[in-house]
């Protein structure tokens, strides 16, 4: 976890812990999905905080907002950065449409950029953890793409196989539902466990099929480390 002012940059493992510990005093009923367009993939070069400050500058100076619009930004390397505090509504839609919303900006231009697997996984996990935390049932009524309320392509024509409601129902919502049910895969759990005991990820990944119980055990141990259920 790295911090620069209010911006907190984390990996998926740290995100679980962060959202687990969040207060759920404020009510949220929808999660809004965007892509940034600018910055796009060509602008990303291990410069997360500079990009965050750049986006905030634009939102404050050009759009007259009080601070950065989004609560969370996801990056091509899979990292996630906290921006706007969750004591406030999001700022990515227009006026009253932001009421009780969480705003996610996915860094990239998904009209043209091919989303990395890392970012894909982080978007799924982030939405799933937020749905779980704030009792949001994933549907096209609650996980809302920007283009459904405004005439633009955001979050991108290739975002999880398309930016239409039908594409979301087929390709996006089911992934979030599955991640809520079992928010940790064996691979994610193994990442957590090997880091803790300073062991080799690839060594144990090759042995994932030695026994069916082995995978269940690793997931169980990882969840214990995370303080989850
Ligand atoms: Zn948007």
Structure tokens belonging to residue 28: 């949220």
pLDDT in 10s for each residue of the chain, 229 residues: 999 999 999 999 899 889 989 988 899 999 999 999 999 999 999 999 999 999 999 999 999 999 999 999 999 999 999 999 999 999 999 999 999 999 999 999 999 999 999 999 999 999 999 999 999 999 999 999 999 999 999 999 999 999 999 999 999 999 999 999 877 888 889 999 999 999 999 999 999 989 879 988 999 999 888 765 4
CA distances from 112 to 46, 87, 155 (A): 21, 34, 11
Residue 111's CATH number: 3.40.80.10
CA of 213 to the centre of ligand 1 (A): 43
CA of 187 to the centre of ligand 1 (A): 31
Number of domains, the chain: 2
**209 shares its domain with 129:** no
What is the reported pLDDT for 228?
54
Q: Is the dihedral of CA 9, 15, 18, 24 positive or negative?
A: positive
**64 shares its domain with 172:** yes
**149 shares its domain with 209:** no
CA of 145 to the centre of ligand 1 (A): 8
**153 shares its domain with 54:** yes
CA of 36 to the centre of ligand 1 (A): 7
Listing DSSP states for 63-83 in one string gives T--SS-S-SEEE-TTS-EEE-
**97 shares its domain with 192:** no
Q: Phi and psi dihedrals of 73, rounded to 5? A: -120, 140
CA of 90 to the centre of ligand 1 (A): 12
CA of 104 to the centre of ligand 1 (A): 9
Do the Cβ atoms of 147 and 108 come closer than 8 Å? no
**101 shares its domain with 211:** no
**196 shares its domain with 112:** no
**142 shares its domain with 173:** yes
What is the reported pLDDT for 116?
96
CA of 35 to the centre of ligand 1 (A): 6
CA of 10 to the centre of ligand 1 (A): 23
Structure tokens belonging to residue 165: 């409601």
**Cα 143 from Cα 176, distance rounded (Å):** 10
What is the reported pLDDT for 229?
46
**56 shares its domain with 94:** yes
**207 shares its domain with 124:** no
Q: How many CB atoms lie within 10 A of CB 86?
A: 20
CA of 220 to the centre of ligand 1 (A): 37
**62 shares its domain with 142:** yes
**Cα 89 from Cα 135, distance rounded (Å):** 16
Whole domain around residue 205: which residue ranges? 186-226
**Cα 120 from Cα 98, distance rounded (Å):** 24
**Cα 212 from Cα 13, distance rounded (Å):** 24
Label the pairing between strands 30-35 and 143-145.
parallel
**207 shares its domain with 114:** no
Burial group, residue 36, by CB count within 10 angstroms (0-12, 13-18, 19+): buried
């Amino acid at each position: 976890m790295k911090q620069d002012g209010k911006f907190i940059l984390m990996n998926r493992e740290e995100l679980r812990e962060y959202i687990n510990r969040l207060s759920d005093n404020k009510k949220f009923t929808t999660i809004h999905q965007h892509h940034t367009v600018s910055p796009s993939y060509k602008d990303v070069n291990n410069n997360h905080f500079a990009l965050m400050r750049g986006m905030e500058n634009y939102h404050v100076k050009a759009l007259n907002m009080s601070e950065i619009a989004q609560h969370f930004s996801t990056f091509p390397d899979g990292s996630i950065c906290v921006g706007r505090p969750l004591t406030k509504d999001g700022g990515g839609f227009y006026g009253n449409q932001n009421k009780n919303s969480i705003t996610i900006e996915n860094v990239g231009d998904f009209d043209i950029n091919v989303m990395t697997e890392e970012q894909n996984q982080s978007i799924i996990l982030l939405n799933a953890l937020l749905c779980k935390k704030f009792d949001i049932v994933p549907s096209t009524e609650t996980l809302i793409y920007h283009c459904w309320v405004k005439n633009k392509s955001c979050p991108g024509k290739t975002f999880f196989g398309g930016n239409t409601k039908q594409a979301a129902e087929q390709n996006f919502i089911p992934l979030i539902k599955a991640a809520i049910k079992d928010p940790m895969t064996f691979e994610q759990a193994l990442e957590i466990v090997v880091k803790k005991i300073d062991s080799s990820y690839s060594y144990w990944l090759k042995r994932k099929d030695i026994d069916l119980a082995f995978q269940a055990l690793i997931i169980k141990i990882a969840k214990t480390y995370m303080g989850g259920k």
